Amino acid sequence: MKLVVATENKDKLKEIEGYLYCLPVTLIPQSAFNVPKAREIGLSFVENAIIKARLAAKYSDLPSIADDSGLAVDALGGAPGIYSARYAGNDARAEDNIKKLLSAISTLSGEERRARFYCAIAFVRHYNDPIPIICQAQWEGRLLTKPVGTNGFGYDPIFFIPNLNCTAAELDAKHKNQISHRAKALHEFTEKLKLIYPQIVHAKQGKE
């Protein structure tokens, strides 16, 4: 089964590939079909994920999966939220976004620095699919005062996981792909995908 991954983010693509490698599906980046950049005009992660999945399906004429994710800080009313990737501007780098966020929460301490990564996965069988698969998950943590760690991407260096006593950027890819918000959403997605395409289960069992 061929499945288009609707993202231009190479780090996200790598994480999705790392999680779905065990399924008998061929993942194809949307760049192979010259899919234009989606206009993320939704007001929620779910809406934007659906927009991206439908656009990729329209141009590829194949089933498509899209991820929309970001960081939500309670004390900031959920910001940066759906604007996480462009918090400091449309062409902002991760370092710019982190710098702006740390400035916004500079006077906060303790529980006031609670935050969570949120992920919404949308899957459509075709462009006009009336019942897309939607999977959502979150990852609880707390924000540090400065970046720590060199792995991961985005806000990972300031996202501290209390029970592991480290940041998301200090985790190796294998560990992160077991516990992150995206990992949880992708796990739910694979289970739902098996219900729609039973042949995936049989094909996987045949390889074992």
Q: Which residues are annotated as a binding site?
A: 7-12, 68-69, 153-156, 176, 181-182
> Which stretch of DSSP H or E encloses residue 56?
helix 45-60
CA dihedral 203, 205, 206, 208 (to 10 degrees): 130
> Is 74 one of the catalytic residues?
no
- The answer to whether 153 touches 11, Cβ cutoff 8 Å, is yes
Peptide bond into 80 cis (omega under 30): yes
User: Is residue 101 within 8 Å of residue 80, measured between CB atoms?
Assistant: yes
- Residue 89: what are its φ and ψ, rounded to 5°? 130, 160
Q: In angstroms, rounded to a whole number, what is the distance separating the alpha carbons of residues 208 and 105?
A: 49
**Binding positions for Mg(2+):** 68
How far apart, in whole angstroms, are the C-alpha atoms of residue 140 and residue 138?
A: 7
Determine contact, residues 19/177, Cβ cutoff 8 Å. yes
Using the 8-state DSSP alphabet, how is residue 62 labeled? S
Query: Which one of the listed residues 68, 74, 91, 129 is annotated catalytic?
Result: 68
Binding residues for substrate: 7-12, 69, 153-156, 176, 181-182
Report the catalytic residues.
Answer: 68
